[in-house]
Amino acid sequence: MALAILARKRAAEAVLRRPQALGAGVSALRASYATAAGEESDVVVVGGGPGGYVAAIKAAQLGLKTTCIEKRGALGGTCLNVGCIPSKALLHSSHMYHEAKSSFAHHGVKFSNLEVDLPAMMAQKDKAVAGLTKGIEGLFKKNKVTYVKGFGKLASSSEVSVDLNDGGSTVVKGKNIIIATGSDVKSLPGVTIDEKKIVSSTGALCLSEIPKKLVVIGAGYIGLEMGSVWNRLGSEVTVVEFAPDIVPSMDGEVRKQFQRMLEKQKMKFMLKTKVVGVDTSGDGVKLTLEPAAGGEQSVIEADIVLVSAGRVPYTAGIGLESVGVETDKAGRILVDKRFMTNVKGVYAIGDAIPGPMLAHKAEEDGVACVEFIAGKEGHVDYDTVPGVVYTHPEVASVGKTEEQVKALGIPYRVGKFPLLANSRAKAIDDAEGLVKVVAEKETDKILGVHIMAPGAGEIIHEAVLALQYGASSEDVARTCHAHPTVSEALKEACLQTFTKAIHI
C-alpha cells in the first residue's frame, strides 16, 4: 500500500511540473492520493519526535498497521533536529577546542595558530543531524511504517486531517490515535524572539558568528549547555535567572559545586533577577533588569540574548477541543495509566502530557502506550528517569534529592566520594566533581544518586538500574568495578553510605 501511495504521489508531482497541468487534473490526482492515505490504520501517531517515531516503530513491530504524521518533513522532532543532538555536537566540538586551548600544553601537546572554524563546526553538526534523520526514515521503511509529511490535527476520535507539506490535504483514519506533538519554546512577556538578536535554543544552534557578549535568560539545563558552548568559543556569557538557584531540580549540595565550577569557567550569574525591558533598536540588545523582589533597575548589553525559560506542551491548534480531549491549565493532555485520554481511542505521550520533558521519557511512554494498545502490559517509572546536564563535567541524577527525602520525613544516610580521590580522574587530570548517594537509613535502599563528573551521563545508568530493582547501597558497593575507572567513584560513594569508603 505504501508503494501505491508513493506511486500516486510521484505521478501527481510529475503532472504538477507540467505547465498545462492545472485545475481539475491536479485536483483529481491529489484526491486520489488522499483517498489512499485515508485507509484505516491500527495506530496513527501524530508527531515524529522521539516519542512518536519510537511508538510508531514499536507498534509496527507488534504487528499493528501504523502511520506516522510529521509536519517538519524530517523525523526526530525537536530533539534530533534542533535540540538534543545538534547541541551535543556543538558541546563536543567546543569542548575539543577548549581542551586544545587550555589543557593540551599541560599534557605535552603543543602547537600554534589554534583557531575556530565556525562554519566547519556547524557543518559537522548538520551532517550528524541529517544522517540520523535519514536513519529513522530507513527504520520506518524497514518496519513498514507509513510516513505522512504534513500538519495533522484531530478531526474525530478516529480521524486525523493532514495539511500535506507538498500541497493539498488528506484524512488519515486510525483505530487508535497517539498524540506525540512534543513541546515548544516557552516565551517570556515583553521578550520577542526573532532568532537574530534574541534567539531561542534553535537560533543559538546556528549563529553565524561568535557573539562577544551573550546573555542567557534562564539557568536550566538548556541555557547552561548552550551558554557553555559559546563561553568555550570565546563569548562573555552572563546567565540571568529569576529563581535563587540554577537548575532548581538539582540536589542542593551538587548544585552549589556545579555553579562554582561554571563560574571557574568564567560564566557569570545574576540570580533572583528578572528582565523588565528589552531594547533592540541599536546594533545589539539592551536588557533592563531588576531584583526579583523589586528594587533598583540596571541595564546589561549583549550582542545576542538567548531565551531559555523552559518549554511548554505543543497541544494548541491540533483539534483537541473539537474532539473533547481534556488538558490541564498548562496545556498538558490528561491521561490515565494506560496513556489514554478521556476520549476512547485517543492516547497521548511525551512532552504533551505531565512528567519530565525529556526525550528518553517520551520514548518510554511511546513503547508502553503501544504495548497497552496491543493488549500487553506497559510501564514507565517516572521516579527512575535520569536527568543529565551535558556541560563539562556533566551532572547526572536519578531518584530523589537529599532535600526531597528530608521533606518526606524519611530517615536517611548520605555517602559522598570526591573525584579528587579517584585514580582515573586524577590520571587524566579531570578530577572536579563528586558522587553523592542518598539511601534509606533502615533498609539501605538507594533513594537517589547524583553525579558531577566527566561522563556522568554514562555512569548514571548503573544507578538507574539499581533504583529500578530496589538495590541497596551495599549491593552496588559489593559489585566489582573495573580499575581504574571513574565509575569506581559510585562504588566508593555507596561504600561510604553503608559503612566506610576505602580511598578517603
Domains and CATH numbers, the chain: 41-185+313-374 (3.50.50.60), 198-309 (3.50.50.60), 387-498 (3.30.390.30)
Predicted pLDDT at 14: 41
- What 3-state DSSP class applies to 67? strand
Residue in 133, 146, 139, 135 with CA at minimum distance from that of residue 64: 146
In percent, the amount of the chain with pLDDT more than 90 equals: 92
Round the average pLDDT of the chain to a whole number and report it: 93
Residue 29 scores a pLDDT above 80: no
Residue 28 scores a pLDDT above 50: no
For residue 57, the Cα-to-chain-centroid distance in whole angstroms is: 20
d(CA 52, CA 100): 39
Query: At 19, is the pLDDT very low, low, confident or very high (cuts 50, 70, 90)?
Result: very low
- Give the residue, 252 or 18, on which the prediction is more confident: 252
Lookup: cell for 504: 578517603
**Segment 54-79, tens digit of pLDDT:** 999 999 999 999 999 999 999 999 99
Residues annotated within a binding site for FAD: 88, 152, 181-183, 351, 357-360
Task: Indicate yes or no: pTM above 0.85.
Answer: yes
Q: Span 206-234, mean pLDDT?
A: 98
Lookup: cell for 499: 559503612
Phi then psi dihedrals of residue 453, to 5 deg: -170, 160
**Segment 365-383, tens digit of pLDDT:** 999 999 999 999 999 999 9
CB burial string 217-247: b at 16+ within 10 A, e below: bbbbbbbbbbbbbbbbbebbbbbbbbeebbb
Q: Span 386-399, mean pLDDT?
A: 98
d(CA 120, CA 114): 14
Q: Span 380-392, mean pLDDT?
A: 98
Residues annotated within a binding site for NAD(+): 218-225, 241, 310
Q: Span 393-412, mean pLDDT?
A: 98
Predicted pLDDT at 317: 97
Q: Span 268-293, mean pLDDT?
A: 97
Lookup: cell for 433: 566533581
**Segment 438-484, tens digit of pLDDT:** 999 999 999 999 999 999 999 999 999 999 999 999 999 999 999 99
DSSP 296-334: --EEEEESEEEE-S-EEE--TTSSHHHHT--B-TTSPBP
d(CA 65, CA 59): 8
**Segment 89-110, tens digit of pLDDT:** 999 999 999 999 999 999 999 9
Residues annotated within a binding site: 88, 152, 181-183, 218-225, 241, 310, 351, 357-360
**Segment 484-494, tens digit of pLDDT:** 999 999 999 99
Active site residues: 483
Predicted pLDDT at 39: 84
Predicted pLDDT at 336: 98
Lookup: cell for 35: 483517498
Lookup: cell for 173: 483514519
Residue 23 scores a pLDDT above 60: no
CB burial string 366-375: b at 16+ within 10 A, e below: bbbbbbbbbe
Residue in 12, 74, 241, 43 with CA at minimum distance from that of residue 143: 43
Q: 149: number of CA atoms within 13 Å, CB side?
A: 12
Q: Span 360-365, mean pLDDT?
A: 98
Phi then psi dihedrals of residue 303, to 5 deg: -80, -40
Q: Span 38-56, mean pLDDT?
A: 95
Query: At 38, is the pLDDT very low, low, confident or very high (cuts 50, 70, 90)?
Result: low
